Amino acid sequence: MSRRPHDGHTEWCGKDHRCGLGEHRSEEIVIDIAARARAVLVRVRTAAGREHAEVRVRVALASGEVAARRQLVGLLGDVRQAVTRAAITGR
């Protein structure tokens, strides 16, 4: 699989305003869960040639402070696990 087609972009590059300054960015891959949670993943190739995944997560928190903090603790644990697993797979 060629990473650089003739136009200079990567095969997966979104090729719009998001791609610029030597950085290629894919279209957003969105995980949407009934207005309660949303995750957006973008594949990025920097000008230096390094590639990485960028993930933004948005989760509705409970109105009660205790429940919200419980959610945050759970989310932090899950994110740490997901990031660690992805990093290990990349070695």
| Residue choice 12, 19, 38, 40 for contact with Zn ion (CB under 5 A) | 19
Say whether 34 sits in a helix, a strand or coil.
Answer: coil
CB distance 24 to 10 below 8 Å: yes
Q: How far apart are CA 19 and CA 27, in angstroms?
A: 10
Question: Which backbone phi and psi does 47 adopt, to 5 degrees?
Answer: -60, -30
The answer to whether residue 26 forms part of the interface with Zn ion (CB under 5 A) is no
CA neighbor of 58 nearest in space, from 77, 75, 46: 75
The answer to whether residue 13 forms part of the interface with Zn ion (CB under 5 A) is yes
| Residue choice 9, 18, 38, 44 for contact with Zn ion (CB under 5 A) | 9
**Nearer Cβ to Zn ion, position 42 or 61?**
42
Region binding Zn ion by CB under 5 A among candidate stretches 18-26, 51-59, 62-70, 82-90: 18-26
- Give the residues lining the site for Zn ion (CB under 5 A): 9, 13, 19, 24
